[in-house]
């Protein structure tokens, strides 16, 4: 048994079990050491399948290393390292154990060579991530964690049934591209898409993630959706419907983020939006697009974690999370501000940041394939991203009015984690070659052409201008309402309002009916199966004998008169 025969994800999962037992020093060493050790193992994995075991009649490939899987495993372990550096002061052991298991699950997914292994790690991730939400404490997070868990169990059920159907229909158990025209393929796709927060079930993400603790959300942002993107790249490249799903996610994320007031919920919506770009890339399915999707996932994990670290730092220092309560923090939290801005520029794919070198690959892939409509929407969305995440987040949190808060920068470990990721954002932006070398397909792509840069700068400048011109409108997002009229003003404000009213009315009625049906059903099942019912209650000896004889009579008649 060599080191490569041991799944690197298990290193983190088993290591997580040790966390509760060590003293503070051991714990710190484990939290920082284990991700680095995993990174080292992943980096040195030879190509091809290793660590196979036979279960049932199948050969399971616990570890299969190729460029694509390794790229994701690398960024997952890197993310785990920075995340734990950020979370060193987290007092909830439960959250830390869950986070490490979660990271291990993600690494396991990225290296899983067959569907069964994939599913097992997939479920580990679901369980661990729910625990992270749960461990934030309080009634709200317990409820949210339950909701989150149920959604993911449903997703797991879809995935598992898909795998079963796929395998029994004669499909290979090896995790490779799957035909979506078969029932099995479609079910697997649905299960994976659910984890990618695709419509119509995108809401679980912004519902649950912001309820996690200041450090919990950093972990949550990185793994679940990106593992799903990985599974999409591996299993469903070039599936056309993904383009439309991805575009929907992009605009869903932008619109809701613009309306949102909670800084971390803004960032949660922007996860949906960014994953949308990757899903579009997978849908286009050319080598360049897949490269783009993979690179974008890589870059996205870094800058989204960076953004959430800066938001988490603000939450940790001030205890506030609403844009309306924040503002002016740049004076007292300079490091956090600068790092937040770097993250914001990256997510807006500003030239010389990591977002630029990855997202432009997806955009250009759309252009190369002459998907004019898609390309146009992607460009429009790029402007939208700048609006909601690139400017809105830093502006309302760090600048805007002076809220009077004078919290200092967070402790050293959180600062270091932010600076580390900020440096990566800039570094990858200026020298993209190392990232390009890790991509699944050979890259012949030069992001820094004059046209690109100018094009992007123009786009960003105009949307920036638009933001500040419309600042009074943006401010109206103090309350959480259906007040979306500023978007639709030129279209038909009245219709929108009427529609909203009707929807609300219908929703209320539907809800009422649902509740009524629910209570009726509950009453009925209780009557049938409750403790005092015929089935669930205590029976007298006489009636049990009667039942037995009745059954006997039926069996006897059946046996005598069949055939």
Partner 1 sequence: MISAHLPALQVVIPLLAAPACVVVRQSTLTWLLALLVSWISFAIALTLLVQTFFNGPMSYELGGWAAPLGIEYAVDVVNAFVLVIVSGVSSVVLISAKESIERETHIKRTHLVYTGWLLCLTGLLGITITGDVFNVFVFLEIASLSSYLLVSLGPDRRALTAAFQYLVMGTIGATFILIGVGLLYMMTGTLNMADLAQRIPGVAQTTTVRAGFAFLVLGISLKAAVFPLHYWLPNAYTFAPSAVTAFMAGSATKVSIYLLLRFFFDIFSETFSLRTMRLDLILLILGVIAIFSMSLVAIYQSNVKRMLAYSSVAQVGYMVIGISLATTTGLTAGIVHLFNHALMKCALFLALGCIVFRLNSVDLKDLAGVGRRMPWTMAAFVIGGLSLIGVPATVGFISKWYLVLAALERDWWWLAFMVVASSLLAVIYIWRVVETAYFKTGPVANTEEAPLILLVPTWVLIVANIYFGVSAVDTISFATRAADQLLSTF
The kind and range of the H/E element at 532 are: none
**Whose CA is closest to 267, among 224, 217, 313?**
217
- Which one among 161, 182, 332, 455 touches partner 1, defined by CB under 8 A? 161
In the complex with partner 1, the residue whose CB is nearer, 449 or 533, is: 533
Minimum gap (Å) between residue 555 Cβ and partner 1: 5
Question: Considering only 91-99, 369-377, 476-484, 535-543, which stretch makes contact with partner 1 by CB under 8 A?
Answer: 535-543
**Is residue 170 involved in binding partner 1 (CB under 8 A)?**
no
The residues, ordered by sequence, that sit 6+ positions from 366 with a Cβ below 8 Å of its Cβ are 280, 284, 289, 374, 375, 378
**Is residue 552 involved in binding partner 1 (CB under 8 A)?**
yes
CA dist., res. 371 & res. 280, Å (int): 11
CA dist., res. 414 & res. 419, Å (int): 9
Number of residues forming the site for partner 1 (CB under 8 A): 37
Question: Considering only 98-106, 246-254, 435-443, 534-542, which stretch makes contact with partner 1 by CB under 8 A?
Answer: 534-542
**Whose CA is closest to 477, among 255, 221, 217?**
255
Greatest C-alpha distance within the chain: 92
Q: Do the beta carbons of residue 344 and residue 394 sit within 8 Å?
A: yes
In the complex with partner 1, the residue whose CB is nearer, 492 or 548, is: 548
DSSP reduced 3-state for 403: coil
In the complex with partner 1, the residue whose CB is nearer, 143 or 406, is: 143
**Is residue 526 involved in binding partner 1 (CB under 8 A)?**
yes
**Is residue 17 involved in binding partner 1 (CB under 8 A)?**
no
**Is residue 462 involved in binding partner 1 (CB under 8 A)?**
no
CA dist., res. 225 & res. 193, Å (int): 9
C-alpha dist (Å) from residue 463 to 355, 380, 468: 17, 10, 9
Q: Would you give the binding string for partner 1 spanning residues 202-231, x where CB under 8 A is met? A: ------------------------------
Minimum gap (Å) between residue 542 Cβ and partner 1: 9
C-alpha dist (Å) from residue 148 to 45, 128, 205, 311: 34, 11, 8, 22
Minimum gap (Å) between residue 61 Cβ and partner 1: 16
Q: Do the beta carbons of residue 389 and residue 267 sit within 8 Å?
A: yes
The 3-state DSSP composition of the chain as helix, strand, coil percent (nearest 5) reads 75, 5, 20
Minimum gap (Å) between residue 563 Cβ and partner 1: 5
**Is residue 181 involved in binding partner 1 (CB under 8 A)?**
no
Q: Do the beta carbons of residue 35 and residue 77 sit within 8 Å?
A: yes
**Is residue 539 involved in binding partner 1 (CB under 8 A)?**
yes
Q: What single-letter DSSP state applies at residue 410?
A: P
Ranges within 20-59 binding partner 1 (CB under 8 A): 54-56
In the complex with partner 1, the residue whose CB is nearer, 117 or 291, is: 117
**Is residue 442 involved in binding partner 1 (CB under 8 A)?**
no
Q: Do the beta carbons of residue 123 and residue 11 sit within 8 Å?
A: no
In the complex with partner 1, the residue whose CB is nearer, 154 or 453, is: 154
**Is residue 182 involved in binding partner 1 (CB under 8 A)?**
no
In the complex with partner 1, the residue whose CB is nearer, 25 or 139, is: 139
**Is residue 1 involved in binding partner 1 (CB under 8 A)?**
no
**What's the chain's length in residues?**
563
How many CB atoms lie under 10 A from the CB of residue 186? 17
How many CB atoms lie under 10 A from the CB of residue 83? 29
In the complex with partner 1, the residue whose CB is nearer, 58 or 488, is: 58
CA dist., res. 518 & res. 37, Å (int): 51
C-alpha dist (Å) from residue 277 to 271, 296, 472: 10, 8, 29
Ranges within 298-327 binding partner 1 (CB under 8 A): none
Question: Considering only 96-104, 254-262, 354-362, 543-551, which stretch makes contact with partner 1 by CB under 8 A?
Answer: 543-551
CA dist., res. 98 & res. 433, Å (int): 34
Q: Would you give the binding string for partner 1 spanning residues 52-91, x where CB under 8 A is met? A: --xxx-----------------------------------
Phi, psi of 557 (to 5 degrees): -60, -45
- Which one among 119, 248, 375, 398 touches partner 1, defined by CB under 8 A? 119
Question: Considering only 25-33, 93-101, 297-305, 548-556, which stretch makes contact with partner 1 by CB under 8 A?
Answer: 548-556
Phi, psi of 449 (to 5 degrees): -95, 155
Question: Considering only 43-51, 283-291, 331-339, 528-536, which stretch makes contact with partner 1 by CB under 8 A?
Answer: 528-536
In the complex with partner 1, the residue whose CB is nearer, 130 or 374, is: 130
Minimum gap (Å) between residue 175 Cβ and partner 1: 16
Per-residue exposure over 19-45, b if at least 16 CB sit within 10 Å of its own CB, e if not? beeeeeeebeebbbebbebbbebbeeb
**Is residue 190 involved in binding partner 1 (CB under 8 A)?**
no
**Is residue 186 involved in binding partner 1 (CB under 8 A)?**
no
In the complex with partner 1, the residue whose CB is nearer, 149 or 420, is: 149
**Is residue 559 involved in binding partner 1 (CB under 8 A)?**
yes
**Is residue 433 involved in binding partner 1 (CB under 8 A)?**
no
**Whose CA is closest to 394, among 441, 346, 356, 436?**
346
Question: Considering only 329-337, 406-414, 445-453, 550-558, which stretch makes contact with partner 1 by CB under 8 A?
Answer: 550-558
- Which one among 49, 164, 255, 473 touches partner 1, defined by CB under 8 A? 164
Residue with tokens 């920075």: 82
Phi, psi of 305 (to 5 degrees): -65, -40
Ranges within 125-154 binding partner 1 (CB under 8 A): 142
DSSP reduced 3-state for 56: coil
Query: In the complex, which residues of this chain contact partner 1 (CB under 8 A)?
Result: 54-56, 119-120, 123, 142, 157, 161, 164-165, 168, 525-526, 528-531, 533, 535-536, 538-539, 541, 544-545, 547-548, 551-552, 555-556, 558-560, 562-563
């Amino acid at each position: 048994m060599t080191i490569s025969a041991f799944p690197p994800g298990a290193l983190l999962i088993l290591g997580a079990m040790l966390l509760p037992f060590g003293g503070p020093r051991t714990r710190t060493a484990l939290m920082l050491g284990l991700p680095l050790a995993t990174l080292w193992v992943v980096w040195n994995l030879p190509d091809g399948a290793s660590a196979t075991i036979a279960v049932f009649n199948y050969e399971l490939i616990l570890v299969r290393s190729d460029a694509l899987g390794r790229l994701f495993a690398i960024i997952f372990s890197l993310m785990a390292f920075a995340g734990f550096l950020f979370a060193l002061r987290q007092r909830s052991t439960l959250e830390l154990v869950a986070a490490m298991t979660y990271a291990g699950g993600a690494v396991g997914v990225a290296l899983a060579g067959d569907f069964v292994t994939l599913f097992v790690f997939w479920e580990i991730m679901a369980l661990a991530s729910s625990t992270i939400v749960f461990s934030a404490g309080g009634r709200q997070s317990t409820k949210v964690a339950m909701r989150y868990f149920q959604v993911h169990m449903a997703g797991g059920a879809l995935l598992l049934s898909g795998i079963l159907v796929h395998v029994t229909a004669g499909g290979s158990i090896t995790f490779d591209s799957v035909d979506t025209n078969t029932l099995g393929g479609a079910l697997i796709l649905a299960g994976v898409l659910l984890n990618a927060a695709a419509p119509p079930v995108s809401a679980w993400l912004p519902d649950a993630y912001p309820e996690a603790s200041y450090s919990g959300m950093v972990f949550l942002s990185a793994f679940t959706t990106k593992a799903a993107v990985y599974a999409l790249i591996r299993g469903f490249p070039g599936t056309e419907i993904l383009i439309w799903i991805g575009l929907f996610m992009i605009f869903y994320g932008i619109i809701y983020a613009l309306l949102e007031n909670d800084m971390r919920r803004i960032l949660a919506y922007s996860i949906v939006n960014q994953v949308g770009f990757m899903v579009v890339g997978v849908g286009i399915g050319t080598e360049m697009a897949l490269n783009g999707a993979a690179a974008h996932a890589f870059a996205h994990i870094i800058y989204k974690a960076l953004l959430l670290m800066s938001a988490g730092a603000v939450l940790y220092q001030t205890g506030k999370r609403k844009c309306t309560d924040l503002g002016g923090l740049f004076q007292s939290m300079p490091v956090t501000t600068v790092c937040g801005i770097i993250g914001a520029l990256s997510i807006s794919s500003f030239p010389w940041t990591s977002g630029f070198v990855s997202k432009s690959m997806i955009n250009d892939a759309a252009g190369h394939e002459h998907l004019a409509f898609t390309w146009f929407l992607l460009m429009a969305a790029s402007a939208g991203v700048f609006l909601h995440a690139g400017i809105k987040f830093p502006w309302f949190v760090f600048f805007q009015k002076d809220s009077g808060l004078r919290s200092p920068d967070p402790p050293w470990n959180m600062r270091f984690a932010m600076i580390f990721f900020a440096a990566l954002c800039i570094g990858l932006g200026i020298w993209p070659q190392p990232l390009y070398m890790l991509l699944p397909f050979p890259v012949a792509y030069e992001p820094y052409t004059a046209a690109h840069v100018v094009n992007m700068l123009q786009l960003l400048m105009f949307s920036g201008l638009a933001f500040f011109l419309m600042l009074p409108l943006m401010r109206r997002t103090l309350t959480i309402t259906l007040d979306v009229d500023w978007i639709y003003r030129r279209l038909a404000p009245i219709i929108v309002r009427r529609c909203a009213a009707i929807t609300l009315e219908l929703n209320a009625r539907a809800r009422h009916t649902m509740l009524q049906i629910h209570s009726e059903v509950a009453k009925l099942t209780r009557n049938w199966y409750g403790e005092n019912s015929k089935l669930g209650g205590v029976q007298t000896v006489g009636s049990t004998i009667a039942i037995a004889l009745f059954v006997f009579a039926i069996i006897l008649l059946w046996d005598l008169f069949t055939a």
